[in-house]
Amino acid sequence: MTWVGHATFLLQLGPVNVLTDPMWSERASPLQWLGPRRLMSPALDFDALPPLDVVLLSHNHYDHLDADTVRRIARTFPETPWLCPMGLGAVLRSFGVRQAIERDWWQTIDLPAAAATCTPAQHFSARGFGDRNRTLWCGWTIEADGVRIYFAGDTALHPDFDVVGSLLGPFDLVMLPIGAYEPRWFMRYVHMNPEDAIAAYRALTAGAGTKPPCVAMHWGTFRLTDEAVDEPPARFAQRWREARLPDHANWTLAHGETRRLA
């Protein structure tokens, strides 16, 4: 797996190439002269992408669903299926995607090379002033080449993490957001902080004999909230140690870093 930045990862599961929440634009905004600007450039050049077999999309916010990036992928890899939550198929098709497959929470998609399940998340959706919560938001599990991965998307801590783990696990890799959490009185309903991420990890892996690696994402690429940019990974590492979780399972990556699952 390679971290491109924010919630964008390239997962190479044997012969299957999966991209999550692809975002290569300079700003997370409908306007490229206004809105949150990248602190870190995309760590993988777009032209270096291998042929894509699946794209996973969690919801429609601009830092996760970027129109220019979608159009570029649709032109470059026109046959690639996009898996998205309910209501987003029309949006993707308007950006040039040929195959947009919608699912509700707990529904599964069987593709020739992979199987995926849409999972619950606690968040919201909007791309303008009049479409709030008109489309769904979600996480995903994906299984290919004998590997099972959980990608949480963008979410607050919610009571279904243990259900996801018991019904769809055990996982070989867990990907959880740890940033964009201050001020807490407001953000606690839509974003996890490091403490919440560890609680979610514990719930997801409660029945697992061996604890899988946990990838900390959704930090360090855009400044979206009030905490310092470098606070989430440091705080996550401290809480991880305090929870006596195995050091080798904390996969907090540098931008562009690639890790290989055993």
So what's the pLDDT on residue 58? 98
Residue 241 C-alpha from the chain's centroid: 24
**Quick one: average pLDDT of 164-187?**
97
| Spatial CA neighbour of 142 closest among 132, 154, 156, 153 | 153
So what's the pLDDT on residue 207? 82
**Quick one: average pLDDT of 210-219?**
97
So what's the pLDDT on residue 34? 82
What are the residue ranges spanned by the domains of the chain? 2-251
Neighbours of 34 (CB within 10 A): 9
The pLDDT-based confidence of 32 (bands split at 50, 70, 90) is confident
Mean pLDDT for the chain?
A: 96
So what's the pLDDT on residue 154? 98
Cis previous bond, 213, omega within 30: no
Please provide the size of the chain in residues: 262
**Quick one: average pLDDT of 84-113?**
97
Q: C-alpha distances in angstroms, 124 versus 25, 121, 127, 167, 168?
A: 22, 9, 11, 24, 23
CA dist 122 and 45 (Å) reads 32
Q: What's the whole-model pTM score?
A: 0.97
CA dist 107 and 228 (Å) reads 37
What class is the 2-251 domain?
Answer: alpha beta
So what's the pLDDT on residue 22? 98
So what's the pLDDT on residue 262? 80
CB 124 within 8 A of CB 133: yes
Classify the C-alpha dihedral 22-204-103-190 as positive or negative: negative
Q: Is the pLDDT of residue 195 over 90?
A: yes
So what's the pLDDT on residue 254? 97
Percent of the chain topping pLDDT 90? 94
